[in-house]
Every structure is written in C-alpha cells, then in structure tokens.
Structure 1
Amino acid sequence: MSLREEKEIHIHNPKMLLFSICFVLMFSVMNGTMFNIAIPDIAESFNLLPSEVSWVMTGYIMIYSVGALVYGKLADTVSFKKLITFGLTVFTIGSLIGFIAPNYYFVLAARVIQAIGGSMMPAIAFIAPIRFFPNERGKILGIISSVMAFASGIGPILGGVIAGFLTWQYLFLTSALMIVTLPFLLKNLPDEETVSAKLDYLGAALVAVTISTTIIGITLAMTEVLWITIVAFVLAVVRMFTAKHPFIPPHLFKNRNYIVAIISSFLAVACLFGLMFTVPIMLRDVYDLTTMQIGLVMFPGAMSAALIGRKGGRLVDQIGARKVYMMSLGLLTTGFVIISSTVGLTPLIVSAMLVFPMMCFPLVQASGADILANMLPKHETGVGMGVFNLLNFVSGALSGAIVGVALDSFSPQDPFNWLAISGDSAVFSNVFLTFVGLVLTSFILFIFIYRERAHPAT
C-alpha cells in the first residue's frame, strides 16, 4: 500500500474540486472531437491520403495512451498539483506550436506535444473519484461520463464553426484556452506530499515502441516494422516479470475478469473511435459536405451522448455496471447495423441514424470504468485503471490506422450489407459492418467468460 493510502485526504471544497476537474476534462475531450471534424480540411491543406492524415488522431492517441499510464503511476507518488501544472503547461505549448505550424510535420509535432501534456487528464479524471470521493465513486464517475459526453457533443459543432468561419489552425488556439483551468485546479486540489517515484523507464520505453511500431507498420504497410513490434513486445513481457518495479505489474493479468474486461472494452472502444474517424471522411467523400456541415450532421448524435451520459451513470448505480455494459454493447451492435444500412441516403437520414451508435459512447465508458473499479483491490485500482486506459487509447489509435489503410486500399461498389446502397458509399458500409462483428465478439466474450463476484475486491 502506498503512503497516499495510509492517511485520509481532506478536501476543503469537494464541489469546486469536482467542477474544476470536469472543466479541464471538457476542454481535453473537445480537443479530440474538434480535430476529428477537421481531418478532411487538414488532408486537403497538405494533399494527404486518409492513412497519412489519420496520424493527426492516431499519433496523438499513441502518445496519449502511454502517457496516461505513466501519469497514472506517477499519481501514486507525485502530487496532483505538480502533475496538472506540468501537463497543462506542456499542452498549451503544443497548442501554440500547432497554431503557427507552417507544414504538416509541425502539425504532427504539435499534436505529440499536446498528447504529452494532455495525457495527464485520464489520471486525474479516473483516479480522483477513487482517491477523493471513495464513498460516491459511482455518482462521480457518472458525472464525469456525462461531462465527457457533453464535450463530445459540443466538440464537433464547435470544431465545424471554428474551422468553417476561420481555419482549422484556430482549433489549436481554442485548445490552448485549457490553461485557464489551472488556477482553479491548484486552488481546490488538496496539498499532497511528493515521495520518491520509482518508474520503470525501460519498461515504459518497450511498451511505447511496441505500440508505435504496430501503428506505423499498419499505417504505412511496412511489414518489416512489425518484426520490431514482436521483439519489443517479448522484451516488454520479460521486463514485466523481471523488473523490481515493473511498468505494468504482471499480477494484474492473473485476474480473469480483468483480462475479459480490458479485451472486451478494447474491441468496443476501437469501434467507437473508428466511427469518429470514419464519419467525417465519409461525409466529405460521399456527400461533399463542408467542415461546418459535417459538424452539423454529427451534432445530434454527439448531443444524444451528452444527454444520456448522466442517466447512464445513475443507471450503473441502480441496476449494476455489468447489466448496463451488456445493454450498451447490444445497443452499439444495433446502431452499427443501422448506420451500415443507411450510408448513402440523404445527410439528414444519416445524421438521425448516427444517434444510435454515438449515444452508446458514455454508456460503454461509465459502465466499463465502474466494472474495473469494483473488481480490483483499492491499492491496485490506480495502476489497473492506467492499463485499462492505455489499452483503450491504443484501440482508438489502431482503429484509425486500420480504417485509414482500408479506405486507401479498397473501393468496392457493392456493399456486403444487402440493405445498403451500392456506389461510393459501399466501402463505408463495409467498415461499419466490420464494427458490428467486433462489437458482437466483445459482447460474446463478456457474457460467457466474465463472472461477477459476490463481493467486491478490497
């Protein structure tokens, strides 16, 4: 047990602390959804293929995923105030670089710097409820989920308006405004003692190499790079079992329920991120919509997620996270079937149908996080959440890279879904039908292998 867990932390104003965390979280989430909308504009500005421009999202998520676990581990020994000050400062620097970027390489560099700073947020958002609100964890996770859903609803339309009336560069400038939350967080976070941090830098580097080479190999179709992935993965596993303080503790994977939960979540979140990446490209290629019009088409679906977020959190407390999670996977499967069948119809119909898969985002998120928090002992929750977040973000990066390659390589005129329309929209219908299969796999895996404990871990 860490020093942090041996004494109770006193918070002067819990409501203001929660408000401050939610405020910075909202900016962090909007940073992702705004750039999803601008992907077609960025591709047009630099004459990029879908697989190349996907690095605006996948590159960010790649760094973000590893950073989320690093910050999660550091949160056990370094005060939240120091982590937040460093994270928000670095994120703002990256945003300003992106605003003045003269070419695509500077844009990618800016996104990497943003990710190094912004990956602090998962540690704050998911560990703070466990550390500072242990008796209201379910309620707080529901609030956080609804804030994330609200931000995802505001992000597309805000990104469309900013990039439509100005240019996509101003999205970076908008993201820089997140620095205004720093004084509020520093004022309301409790003072914590910083103890000596023991971080397995070699293990972290091996995990980072495994993730990055996997995405590079898929995105650039460089199979030789995947050999580096295999070697790095083997070395990471060896390091995990031999290091005194491993980057990822091996004992986590002795828990069958934990393994099932992270694999099931990996598949579901990959499809959700894939949806967010695919839809803007589809609306540009099939319907020739402007950036603002893309934001308007996606807005109803994103706002449905915002509206259902808080109710989903309450539902987790009322009927249990497992039931909500299975229900959300069933709804997500149905949503992908619907959108796969309606691609190619009018933008108004597509906009209405996007509501079904997009509203499942907060349900999957809130119930999945609560399942994980319940199954692990308290002293392992931080690192457990870190690995959970790591794999979820990696799933998003992989889905964007794989979808980008699929859109580059295939252009069928006849969709696999016999309900869908033939033509340029066929490839997108097939992508969404693939998501149906992945979510069904996630559902079957969870319902048949996961076993709910009679009592939560302590």
Structure 2
Amino acid sequence: MIRLKGSDSEKLIFLLSFTLVISVMNSTMFNMAVPTITRDFNLQPSEAGWIITGYIVVYAIGTVMYGKLSDKFKLKNLLTFGLSLFAIGSIIGFTAVNFEITVFGRILQAAGASVMPATSLIIPSRYFTPETRGRALGIVSAGTALGTAIGPIVAGLVTSFINWRYLFVISLLSLITLPLFRKYLKDEIQKPHVKTDMLGAFLLAGTLSLLLLTITQKTVLFAATGIIFLVLFIWRIRKAEQPFIQTSVFKNKEYSIAILISALSTGIGFGIPYLTPLLLQNVNGISPFMSGLIMFPGALTAALLGKKGGQLADYKGNTYLIYTALSCFFIGYCFLSTLSGLSTYFIMLVLVFACTGQTFIQIGLANTVSSTLSKDQSGIGMGIFMMTNFIAGSIATTLISVAVEKETDTIQLNPLLINSKGLIYSNIFAVLGMIVILISIIYMITFSSNFSNKVEKKVYRKI
C-alpha cells in the first residue's frame, strides 16, 4: 500500500468520485438523446443505438485493459492518457458533421473513459488501509450513484433547450482533474514483465462488433466475418502465454453460472435507461427534459437505497437481497408492460421499483461472484465479471433497438395492456419480465442450496 498524508488521501478519493460522476453521466446522458439523434440524422432506432452500443463495447474491453496495464504503467500516466483521449473524443463528437463521425467520437470517449472503472477499484486498494478502504469505496459508489441519478436530468435539459451535441462538452469537465491526479498520485512499483494481450483484446472487440452488426444489419457477410474473428479469438486465448481472458477461471461451475446470471440481469437492467426515454418521448410525446424528470426519482431512490442493499446482504444474506431485487424487477416490468402509453406519473412511480431492483441486483451479484472465487483468481474473475456486464448491456441495447423497429400490428403479449399505442414497448417489457423469472429459476437451482448457505455462513461469522 502507498502512504499518503491524511488530507491528501481525502482529496484524492473525492477527486476520483467527481471524475466518476462525469464518466457515469457520459455513459447515461446519450440514452436521453437517442430519439432526437434518430430524427436529426434520419436513422432507424437500431442505427442510432450505436451511439450507446459502440460506446459500451469499447468501454467493456477498455475496463479490463486498463486494469491489466495498471501493473505495467504508472497510474497517473494511465489517467493522463485515458482522460486526454476522453477529451479528444468529446471534441470530435461535438464537431461531427455526420452520424458516423459522431459514433467515432463516442468510441474514442469510451476508450478514454474506461480508465475510470479500473481506477475506482485500484486507488482504494493501493492508497487506503483496510480500516479506511470501506469508506473510500463508499464515497466512490456515491459518485457513481450521483452520476446515474443526475445524468438523465442534465441530458434532458441540454437536449431540450440547447442541442444534444453539447452533451460532449460536459465531458470536457474531466480535464480539470488531470493536474490534481498527477499531484496526489504517487509513483508505484512497476512490473514491466507483465504482458498485455492487445491482439486478444482486438479480436474480442471485433467479434462483439460484428455480432451486433449482424443483429442490426442482418447481413451474411458480417455474420461470416464475426465467426472468423471468434475462431481467431478462441485460438488466441488458448495459445497466448498471458491471454486477454484466462479461461481457467471458468472451470469453477458456480462462477460460470453466476456470470451467466449477471449477464442476463445486466441485460434486462439496460431496458430501463435505454427503453424508457424512447417510450416517454415517442409514445407519451414529452420532451427529453421532462423524460429526465420522470426518470430522476427512480434513479435517486435507487442511489439512496444502495447502502441499505449492502446492509440487507450483510444481515439477511445475499440470497435475500437477490430475491428482493428480482421481485422489484418483476413488479417494475409487469407494471411498465401494462402502463405503457399511460400517465407519465404512473411510469415515474413504477420506475422506483425497477431502478431499485437494478441497484440491488448489482450489489447482490457482485457479492455472489466474488464469493465463488479463490483469492488467487479474484482479480481475474472480477475483471471478467465487469467486462461481461458491459458486453451484456451492449447486446441487450442492440436487441431492444431492433425490437422497437417492429410494426405495431404485432401480437400482444400482455392482455392487460390498456393503451395500444404502447404495444411494442409493452411487449419488450413483458419479455424482460419473463427473463426475470428465468433468472430466478437458475439462481434458485444453483445458489439457494448448500453453496449459498456456506457463503452466507462466512458472512455471518464476519459480522
């Protein structure tokens, strides 16, 4: 652990928290702008969705990449590179003259901004003692929650009264933190022998991108090329001395199933920030700013209940928290499926359940996944866990955007739907509710058994 003066460590963690607010806001703000971008560039929803999807794919790969590079390079230099790249992408996005350059700007943003998730875990572990680390992580989590809560409000305000392009300008605020990071971060001991599998990362990114292009464009060429990339990626991780993804961790059955559950949960969780603005703006006909206001109470409530979720996991067990989260998800999606197209105030109330479920499931599954790992596999396993969640989010966003394009004369999955104008959205929320049931069954079979009891006994002993 690296020693800092007490005041310096406090300044460093609050600085990190502020930067995370900007980073998280950047990942959520453009959800509110997708309907406007769709109209401005005359796009289909699946095409406009690449503003979100392209960002998430690169963000997922970058999160793991920066974590690996932190052993090889100084953290202050990684942050300088990442935040500078983030700023360059913001400038390109702001000045873009067409949609393709806009997406390119977002991809550069993601390549830079992904330094923050890795840093948010590394700084508390390197610069804080075990006795103070919990508080540091709490402040970091508060920054993440704050960014999630205020992102839709800021995005709605900017999109409604200025122009969605100015969302890129807000991201430039991260630059003011660079001199301070360089001041408070000390030089760490480097491990120059650590290798980073850049080829493996490239092949994985290519595989994911081609998969998503296949879904949106329905082109055989993309599918065939994607298969080639996948085969090359599998070959690479089997042959590389230090592969980008170490497959040995998947020999752990409980870990593999926990990753699957987490991917499904993250996927349905993306139905809230991505699908809700489309519903509110396209069906209810309200502005992006009002959409942000409708979504704000749910996000804020979920942020405030984050600490309570951790306490539930500690005192009543992780299984209790998981089932609470899944119940909130199910209630939220059932009502959203029924109320699509009705009063925005009903939707605002229901979002409290859905957003709370999203927060609780993140806490519960992080505990579940970490509990399945041995000490020597924790770093690798949690890195894959974070990356898988981002990948699942990008795939879910793509699938949802394609589903939104369907004609309104489709079958009605929810017989209780009141307003037929919201039929497409009702059907998507109904499918997400069905996936919640599937997740519950998988979790019950795997973790509501002897394994789950063993994990929770360990927690009770610590208490």
Both structures adopt the same fold (TM-score exceeding 0.5): yes
Q: Does 1:66 align with 2:66?
A: no
Q: What corresponds to 1:446 in structure 2?
A: 443
Task: Provide the C-alpha distance between the structure 2 equivalents of 1:96 and 1:358, rounded to a whole number of angstroms.
Answer: 32
Q: Does 1:88 align with 2:83?
A: yes
Q: What corresponds to 1:27 in structure 2?
A: 22
Task: Provide the C-alpha distance between the structure 1 equivalents of 2:89 and 2:20, rounded to a whole number of angstroms.
Answer: 17
Task: Provide the C-alpha distance between the structure 1 equivalents of 2:80 and 2:246, rounded to a whole number of angstroms.
Answer: 28
Task: Provide the C-alpha distance between the structure 2 equivalents of 1:79 and 1:376, rounded to a whole number of angstroms.
Answer: 28
CA contact (8 A) 1:414 1:422 kept: no
CA contact (8 A) 1:72 1:382 kept: no
Task: Provide the C-alpha distance between the structure 2 equivalents of 1:218 and 1:133, rounded to a whole number of angstroms.
Answer: 45
Secondary structure of 1:424 counterpart = helix
Task: Provide the C-alpha distance between the structure 2 equivalents of 1:445 and 1:190, rounded to a whole number of angstroms.
Answer: 45
CA contact (8 A) 2:17 2:142 kept: no
1:139 Cα shift?
5.5
Change (3 A) 1:147 1:326: farther
Q: What corresponds to 1:12 in structure 2?
A: 5
Q: What corresponds to 2:369 in structure 1?
A: 372
Q: Does 1:335 align with 2:328?
A: no
Pick aligned residue for 1:278 from 275, 278, 283: 275
CA contact (8 A) 1:240 1:247 kept: yes
Find runs of 4+ consecutive structure 1 residues off by over 6 angstroms.
none
Change (3 A) 1:127 1:406: same
Secondary structure of 1:246 counterpart = coil
5 Å-filtered alignment, 1:405-444, equals 405-412=402-409, 415-444=412-441
Q: One-letter code of the match for 1:69?
A: V
CA contact (8 A) 2:339 2:418 kept: yes
Q: Does 1:304 align with 2:301?
A: yes
Q: One-letter code of the match for 2:60?
A: S
Q: One-letter code of the match for 1:420?
A: L
Task: Provide the C-alpha distance between the structure 1 equivalents of 2:17 and 2:426, rounded to a whole number of angstroms.
Answer: 36
5 Å-filtered alignment, 1:45-444, equals 45-133=40-128, 135=130, 140-196=136-192, 197-412=194-409, 415-444=412-441
Secondary structure of 1:419 counterpart = coil
- Ranked by relative contact order (alpha carbons within 8 Å, sequence separation 6 or more), the top structure is 1
Task: Provide the C-alpha distance between the structure 1 equivalents of 2:141 and 2:339, rounded to a whole number of angstroms.
Answer: 29
Task: Provide the C-alpha distance between the structure 2 equivalents of 1:377 and 1:120, rounded to a whole number of angstroms.
Answer: 26
Q: Deviations over 1:175-229 (max 9, x none)?
A: 1111222233333334212321301222212211111111111111224422333
1:446 Cα shift?
1.9
1:359 Cα shift?
2.0
Q: What corresponds to 1:5 in structure 2?
A: none
1:130 Cα shift?
4.3
Task: Provide the C-alpha distance between the structure 2 equivalents of 1:129 and 1:449, rounded to a whole number of angstroms.
Answer: 32
Gaps of at least 5 residues in structure 2 are none
Change (3 A) 1:214 1:413: closer
Task: Provide the C-alpha distance between the structure 1 equivalents of 2:395 and 2:430, rounded to a whole number of angstroms.
Answer: 17
1:237 Cα shift?
2.3
TM-score by length of 1: 0.92
Task: Provide the C-alpha distance between the structure 2 equivalents of 1:447 and 1:229, rounded to a whole number of angstroms.
Answer: 34
Gaps of at least 5 residues in structure 1 are 1-7
Segment of structure 1 superposing worse, 258-267 or 121-130: 121-130
Task: Provide the C-alpha distance between the structure 1 equivalents of 2:401 and 2:220, rounded to a whole number of angstroms.
Answer: 16
1:133 Cα shift?
4.7
Task: Provide the C-alpha distance between the structure 2 equivalents of 1:182 and 1:112, rounded to a whole number of angstroms.
Answer: 21
CA contact (8 A) 2:327 2:357 kept: no
Segment of structure 1 superposing worse, 124-133 or 355-364: 124-133
CA-atom RMSD in angstroms: 2.1
Task: Provide the C-alpha distance between the structure 1 equivalents of 2:128 and 2:121, rounded to a whole number of angstroms.
Answer: 11
Q: Deviations over 1:289-337 (max 9, x none)?
A: 1111111121111211221123223433444444323321222122111
Change (3 A) 1:277 1:359: same
Change (3 A) 1:17 1:321: farther
Change (3 A) 1:382 1:75: farther
CA contact (8 A) 1:145 1:362 kept: no
* Identity percentage of aligned residues: 37
Task: Provide the C-alpha distance between the structure 1 equivalents of 2:409 and 2:128, rounded to a whole number of angstroms.
Answer: 52
Change (3 A) 1:17 1:258: farther
Q: One-letter code of the match for 1:113?
A: L
Segment of structure 1 superposing worse, 365-374 or 199-208: 365-374
Change (3 A) 1:89 1:167: same
Segment of structure 1 superposing worse, 386-395 or 300-309: 300-309
CA contact (8 A) 1:142 1:314 kept: no
Q: What corresponds to 1:4 in structure 2?
A: none
Change (3 A) 1:115 1:206: same
Q: Deviations over 1:76-117 (max 9, x none)?
A: 332221211111110011111111222212211110110110
Task: Provide the C-alpha distance between the structure 2 equivalents of 1:439 and 1:90, rounded to a whole number of angstroms.
Answer: 38
1:167 Cα shift?
0.7
Task: Provide the C-alpha distance between the structure 1 equivalents of 2:326 and 2:143, rounded to a whole number of angstroms.
Answer: 21
Task: Provide the C-alpha distance between the structure 1 equivalents of 2:181 and 2:373, rounded to a whole number of angstroms.
Answer: 28
Task: Provide the C-alpha distance between the structure 2 equivalents of 1:116 and 1:374, rounded to a whole number of angstroms.
Answer: 30
Change (3 A) 1:249 1:400: same
CA contact (8 A) 1:93 1:113 kept: yes
CA contact (8 A) 2:279 2:341 kept: no
Alignment length (residue pairs):
449
